[in-house]
Amino acid sequence: MENAYQKLIDGNRRHSLEKKFEDPEYFKKLALGQKPEYLWIGCSDSRVPANEVTNTDAGEMFVHRNIANMVVHTDFNVLSVLEYAVKYIGVKHIIVCGHYGCGGIKASMTNQRHGYVDNWLRNIKDVYNKYTVELENISDLDKRTERLTELNVIEQVRNLAKTSIVQEAWKTRELHLHGWVYGLNSGLITDLKVIHDGKEDIEDIYRFD
């Protein structure tokens, strides 16, 4: 058991050999720099690996993951990633990808205390609170959880649109925001079509001059 980590090192050796076998210059090319077109904001859940579920390779996607794929305005981590991706890398698309069966969403719907994460989950409770009428009209708990998962993605996309980082970019270029949900059962992504391509999509109070 204490050697369980060894399979990661072995796997890495195999990965390196395979890539070099396919293309002897593979790592040399990657080392030259990155110019990914996408920023992925996803859940930390081990079952939703960004590159794997989108069939993308190293260098194609800038990635940020946290519990329940949140965009929290006071989180310097996500803001730093967002600013770097938008301002310096110049990504063209930002994708918030939630997933059905999300433990963070489920935990937010209970009254249980879990620890520090409760402060994080409160942001999801706020989404629930905003849509209480719609959500509590859904009697089936699984369906209600699925809907909150979708609404949470929509609200995180809106949170992106409220940032000065995204609004500054919109002044000079195209930057597309997307809200997706990944199905653990199907392996398929659904586009929620919450595209925000300009600040007209958010309420006036959130707009910067």
Indicate the residue among 149 and 163 with the shorter CB distance to Co ion. 149
In the bound state with Co ion, the residue whose beta carbon lies nearer, of 85 and 102, is 102
Cβ 102 to Co ion shortest distance, Å: 3
Query: For residues 50 and 86, which CB has a smaller minimum distance to Co ion in the complex?
Result: 50
Which residue, 16 or 44, is less far from Co ion as judged by CB? 44
- Residue 98 Cβ, how far from Co ion at the closest point, in Å? 7
* 117 vs 113: CA distance, rounded Å: 9
Residue 159 contacts by C-beta under 8 Å, 6 or more apart in sequence? Answer: 71, 72, 73
Question: Could you give the 3-state DSSP secondary structure of residue 38?
Answer: strand
Minimal distance, residue 143 CB to Co ion, in Å:
18
> Residue numbers of the site for Co ion (CB under 5 A)?
43, 45, 102, 104
The residues, any chain, with a CB within 8 Å of residue 59's CB and separated by 6 or more, are 30, 34, 35, 36
Show the beta-strand stretches assigned E in the chain: 38-43, 61-66, 93-99, 176-182, 189-191
Catalytic site positions = 43, 45, 47, 99, 102
Q: Which residue has the tokens 């329940």?
A: 68
Query: Closest distance between Co ion and the C-beta of residue 52, in Å?
Result: 15
Burial track 47-56 (b if 16+ CB lie within 10 A, e otherwise): ebebeebbeb
Task: Report the Cα–Cα distance between both ends of the chain, in Å, rounded.
Answer: 58
